[in-house]
Structure 1
Amino acid sequence: MVTYYDDKSVQVTSTAVRVDGRSYPLDQITMVWHRRGSRSWRVLVGRGAIGAALAGPLVAAVLGIGVAVWLQRSPTVTIAIVGASVLVGLAVGPVADFLFEHLDRSYARGSRQLEIWVRWRGHPVRLLQTGDALRFGQIYRALQRAVEHSQPRRPAARR
């Protein structure tokens, strides 16, 4: 028996697919397809908030420099305001790695609900619904490989 995918709730092997304790033998599955749901606004707003958090200190630094020049104060005050603005801008550095990591994870998880469907014993059955795009892709590809390898080989046509 070959295992194509295995986690705590889904197992795809060369003989069957098991999802949340239910087993679906591959020889009874005739078709596999997927559906994508609508976008999650919560995920999109979260990505926008991360972008704003990345840009915020830089915008504050530029505005601080602009205000320092606009005020036309003594060189000492202007240098102090510009220095403080540059420090605010530099504050984004240590935080940027953390925020970019969260942004990458957001794209890996996806912004839609994804479903895997099969035709099992002649009836459509939803095997899985998840918002995790990476996991969905791994399971879907494993299921496709398992079904392809379980199909009987047809002899090549002779010419």
Structure 2
Amino acid sequence: MTTYYRDPEVLITSSGVRMNGRDFRLPELLQVWYTRGSRSWGVIAWRGALGLTILLPVLVGGLAITVALLMQAAVMTVVAVLIGGILVGLAVVPVADLLLERMDLSYDRGSRSLEIWGRVHGGEVLLLRTDNAQRFGRIYRALQRALEPAVRR
């Protein structure tokens, strides 16, 4: 028996599938397909907020540098504001790395719910529903490999 995918909720092997608390032998699955739900605007808004959060300190640093160059003040004051603006811009680098990592994770998860459906002799069955696009892709590819004609012999 070959195991194509395994996690605490899903098991896909060359002999059968366990998803959504139900077990199916591969010959029972006559057809398998997936559907995508509507977009989650909350996830998209979260990504936008992360993007603005990344840009805000850079804009503040740039504004400080612009003000320093346009100021009609003593040289030491201009230099202090200029250095402060540069430091604010540089301080963003470690924070930006963390925020970009959060953004990447957001894209890995996806912005819509995904479902895997199967047709069995008794009708259509929801096999899996998840919001995690990366996990969904792994499970669906494993299911396709398990259902390939060469494997089912």
* Other-structure match for 1:72: 72
1:30 aligns to 2:34 (yes or no): no
3-state SS of paired residue (2:35): strand
TM normalised by structure 2 equals: 0.93
Contact 2:12 2:142 (8 Å CA) reproduced: yes
Task: Give the letter aligned to residue 125 of structure 1.
Answer: V
- Secondary structure of 1:91's counterpart equals helix
Q: Which residue of 1 aligns with 2:119?
A: 119
Whether 1:55 and 2:74 are equivalent positions in the alignment is no
What are the superposed Cα offsets for residues 57-95 of structure 1, whole Å, 9 maximum, x if unpaired?
110011112222333211111111111111111111111
Q: Which amino acid aligns with 2:41?
A: W
Residue 140 of structure 2 corresponds to 140
Residue of structure 1 in register with 2:128 after alignment: 128
Unpaired segments ≥5 residues, structure 1: 153-159
Aligned to 1:102: 102
Give the total of aligned pairs: 152
Distance 1:32 1:110 in 2: 21
Return the letter of the residue paired with 2:86: V
Stretches of 4+ moved more than 4 A in 1?
none
5+ long unaligned stretches in structure 2: none
Supply the AA of the counterpart residue of 1:17: V
Q: Which whole-Å CA distance do the structure 2 matches of 1:32 and 1:122 have between them?
A: 14
Asked if structure 2 preserves the Cα contact closer than 8 Å seen for 1:47 and 1:103, the reply is yes
Q: Residue 155 of structure 1 corresponds to which residue in structure 2?
A: none
**1:11 matched to which residue of 2?**
11
Say if 2:20 and 2:128, in contact at 8 Å, map to a contact too: no
1:58 and 1:88 in contact (8 A); partners too: yes
**AA partner of residue 30 (structure 2):** T
Take 2:29 and 2:20, find their aligned partners in 1: how far apart are those partners?
A: 17
- Opposite residue 7 of structure 1, the aligned amino acid is D
Determine if the alignment matches structure 1 residue 39 to structure 2 residue 39. Answer: yes
DSSP-derived class of the 1:140 partner: helix
Output aligned runs, 1:87-98, within 5 Å.
87-98=87-98
